[in-house]
Every structure is written in C-alpha cells, then in structure tokens.
Amino acid sequence: MNLVLLREEDFTAPGRARLTGRRQRHVLEVHRAEVGDELVVGLLGGSVGRGRVTSLEDGLHLEVVLDQPPPPKLPLTLVLALPRPKVLNRTLAAATSLGVASIYLVNAWKVEKSYWKSPRLSEENLLEQRILGLEQARDTVLPALHLRRLLRPFAEEELAGIVQGTTALLAHPGVPGPCPRDAGGPVVLVIGPEGGFIPAEVELLSRSGCRPVNLGERILRVETAVAALTGRLF
C-alpha cells in the first residue's frame, strides 16, 4: 500500500479522516505509523496528498491535505477473455496499477463456463482488486470495468465504436505481424483466453477492426502479457 485510499465517508470533518479495518491495520502493522507520521493519501476518484497521523485512539485519525492530481491514465482499453478466477484478481490489480483506463471482460469459446459463476466476479471483489492496484501505484481513479457475457453482440455492436480512432490490436500467436511499439495514441488491446481465441473469434474480432498481431514464440500468462504489452506500447 503505497497510498492510503480514502473515501468520502472516511472524513469526519473537512481535512480530517478516520481509518478503521484493513487500512488501519496495514498502516499500523506494515508502515508502523505513529502519531506525527506522514502518509501518502488520496481520495478515491480525487486528488493525492499527505495525511498526518493525529491520534491512534478509536481508529487512526489523519489530518489530510489533498493538493496533487493523480497520475494520468494510459489511453489503453483492455478487452480480456475472462481469465481463471485466481488469475483474474492478479490481472485486475496489475492492469489497474499500470494505469489502464478501461477493461472489458468478455466471453470466448475457451473460457470455461464456471468462471462466470465465480464469487470473484462479485461487484465487491472486482472493486477490491482495482483498489489494491490503485494503492500500489498511488492512483485514485478506478479503471472502468465492464462485463460482457456474449462475445458476438459485443464484437458486432459495441467494439466497432470502442476501436474508433484507436490502434486496435488482437494479441494472437502465430500471425505474421509483430506488435507495434510506442503507439503514440489510444490503443485497444484484445487478449484471448488460455488456449487462445478460435479462428471464428479471430475473424469476428478482425471484422470489428482489431488487427491480429503476434507476441513472439513465448506464451505468457495473461497478467504478464498485459504488463509486457503495456510497457511496449506506451
């Protein structure tokens, strides 16, 4: 936790916040904060600044000044075939920490149906994983997150609009074109499931404006691929 993320409801008065629960424990046990210490804080969806610990009685009390903008987002929209539940958590946190602006989780032939029933798809967990990513990267602004359980209508009706004015890429092993570097503008990046998109899906996504590009011989885990491609493109 490189930034303590505050919510409106943490404020007891203007410039005064009170932490309890996970954040209080983390600040006490990991940061070993004492009265008078300063922490990097931010307001969810708002500015970044500093919080001075004023009291540890009945919660952790902070005097807060928020005077800096959060880091800018990357103009990157990720379209991910829904990963396995335990991979999903890590991928959401990593993508958020990297500054991805928007994430679509979509279905694909090789996404197991059970993944869509995982408790990790609860709104609460999807929020928590992105919050962990924000706290890691000292950001305050959640990436937008959309779930699309049907690939075809998403690709045919929605994706064409999303890709407009962007470099739209479909990471796919075995195609000839390499992934470009330093895109210099907004990018939509589509990444398939373990085992890849099937040919009909590649065709569908290509028709919606995504250019298949290859990432070399190595097959990477989705969270590794997201980070490597983000580093390459921005």
User: Is 181 among the residues that bind a copy of itself (CB under 8 A)?
Assistant: yes
Using CB under 8 A, which of the segments 14-22, 114-122, 150-158, 223-231 binds a copy of itself? 223-231
Judged by CB under 8 A, the residue of 101, 121, 127, 220 near a copy of itself is 220
* Residue 61: Cβ within 10 Å count: 19
User: Is 178 among the residues that bind a copy of itself (CB under 8 A)?
Assistant: no
User: Is 214 among the residues that bind a copy of itself (CB under 8 A)?
Assistant: no
Touching a copy of itself, residues 39-68 (CB under 8 A): none
User: Is 101 among the residues that bind a copy of itself (CB under 8 A)?
Assistant: no
Using CB under 8 A, which of the segments 4-12, 58-66, 116-124, 211-219 binds a copy of itself? 211-219
Shortest CB 16 distance to a copy of itself, Å = 27
User: Is 177 among the residues that bind a copy of itself (CB under 8 A)?
Assistant: no
Judged by CB under 8 A, the residue of 139, 151, 170, 172 near a copy of itself is 139
Phi, psi at residue 75, to the nearest 5°? -75, 65
Q: Which residues bind a copy of itself (CB under 8 A)?
A: 2, 71, 90, 94, 97-99, 136-139, 181-182, 216-221, 223-225, 227-232
